[in-house]
Amino acid sequence: MWYYEKKLQYPVRVSKCDVQMAKFLTEQYGGADGELAAALRYLNQRYTVPDKIIGVLNDIGTEELAHLEMIATMVYKLTKDATPDDLKKAGLGAHYANHDKALYFENAGGVPFTATYFTAKGDPIADLYEDIAAEEKARSTYQWLINMTDDTDLIDSLTFLREREIIHSQRFLECVEILKEERDRKKIF
Amino acid sequence: MKESTAKYYELLHEIQQVDFALVELNLYLNTHPMDQQAIMQFNELVQRSQMLKKNFESMYGTMRNFGESFSPTPWSWSNTPWPWQV
């Protein structure tokens, strides 16, 4: 089970209302390489991977939930004071018609989230390589998002998230090495 | 910014810093379980985190749910602010 702590993993501040940026950030909320896909991918894979790497998947999956909450906080803060007209001008008129200002798991283009964004192959090496690729893709998305804003507060939080993708990728790469070592050890006997 | 608000952020940031180091050490130790120095650092920070949270909760109310923190009277867990509101 999980416990909740009343804090974000890293502070999220925004210096202005920016509906368009909120729309772009949705990519990391309900997009293919977003935080929801990441959390669900790892927390689902953990049941059937070798014992040695369950902890890594469990803990990174858990940290992704904290990142999901940070992205949600950004979207919430960037749209909190927006009028329906602001939303319409930023391309969120269709979103408003369906959801008002509620958050919705969709990508930046408005396509709803789908489980087909990730897989569970049952082969730990195949799964880990997907995980590494997912982290690198998310890192790129964070860079593209940073490139589209001049809000220094927002950039600070996005930079933190971008750096986390690098660490996660590194830990998954180490998992691959751990499994290869185990495999080679078995061959000796 | 009001002085009380500034204090809230200051104490919260301190917790966020220590807890971030704990997340980072935890992930690192998952793949480097024999690193004794990292384990020592981890244990020191666990103690520091618990102390900081106890102090924070005595000023701003329960921070952890489902029995991870003691409750004052009246019940303060469901009070605002929630993390996305600060």
pLDDT truncated to tens, each residue of chain A (189 aa)? Answer: 999 999 999 999 999 999 999 999 999 999 999 999 999 999 999 999 999 999 999 999 999 999 999 999 999 999 999 999 999 999 999 999 999 999 999 999 999 999 999 999 999 999 999 999 999 999 999 999 999 999 999 999 999 999 999 999 999 999 999 999 988 887 765
Q: Is residue B50 part of a domain?
A: yes
Q: Which residue of B has its CA nearest to A3?
A: B65
Considering its fold, how many domains does chain B have in total?
1
Q: Is residue A3 part of a domain?
A: no
Nearest-CB residue to B27 (from A69, A167, A178): A167
Q: Using the beta-carbon criterion (under 8 Å), do B84 and A60 form an inter-chain contact?
A: no
Q: Is residue A44 part of a domain?
A: yes
Q: Is residue B32 part of a domain?
A: yes
* Domain span including residue B54: 1-61
Q: What angle do CA A104, A109, A113 make, to 5 degrees?
A: 45
Q: Which of A121, A119, A98, A94 is nearest to A108 (CA)?
A: A94
Q: Using the beta-carbon criterion (under 8 Å), do B83 and A3 form an inter-chain contact?
A: no
Query: Domain holding A84: CATH number?
Result: 1.20.1260.10
* Domain span including residue A162: 19-108+118-188
Q: Is residue A6 part of a domain?
A: no
Q: Is residue B78 part of a domain?
A: no
Q: Using the beta-carbon criterion (under 8 Å), do B31 and A178 form an inter-chain contact?
A: yes
Residue B55 clears pLDDT 90, i.e. is over it:
yes
Q: Is residue B73 part of a domain?
A: no
Question: How far apart are alpha carbons A14 and A26 in whole angstroms?
Answer: 15
Q: Is residue B22 part of a domain?
A: yes
Please give the pLDDT value at position A189: 58
Q: Is residue A179 part of a domain?
A: yes
- For chain B, the residues whose C-beta falls within 8 A of a C-beta of chain A are 12-13, 15-16, 19-20, 23-24, 26-28, 30-31, 62-66, 68, 82-84
Nearest-CB residue to B31 (from A3, A63, A175): A175
Average pLDDT, chain B: 96
Dump pLDDT digits (tens) for B10-47: 999 999 999 999 999 999 999 999 999 999 999 999 99
Q: Is residue A4 part of a domain?
A: no
Q: Is residue A128 part of a domain?
A: yes
Q: Which of A111, A148, A156, A115 is nearest to A24 (CA)?
A: A148
Residue with tokens 């964070």: A142
What value of ipTM does the predicted structure carry? 0.95
Q: Is residue B42 part of a domain?
A: yes
Q: Are A60 and A14 in contact (CB under 8 A)?
A: no
Q: Is residue B30 part of a domain?
A: yes
Cis ω for the linkage preceding B81 (within 30 of 0): yes
Considering its fold, how many domains does chain A have in total?
1
Residue type, B67: G
Is A95 known to be catalytic? no
Q: Is residue B68 part of a domain?
A: no
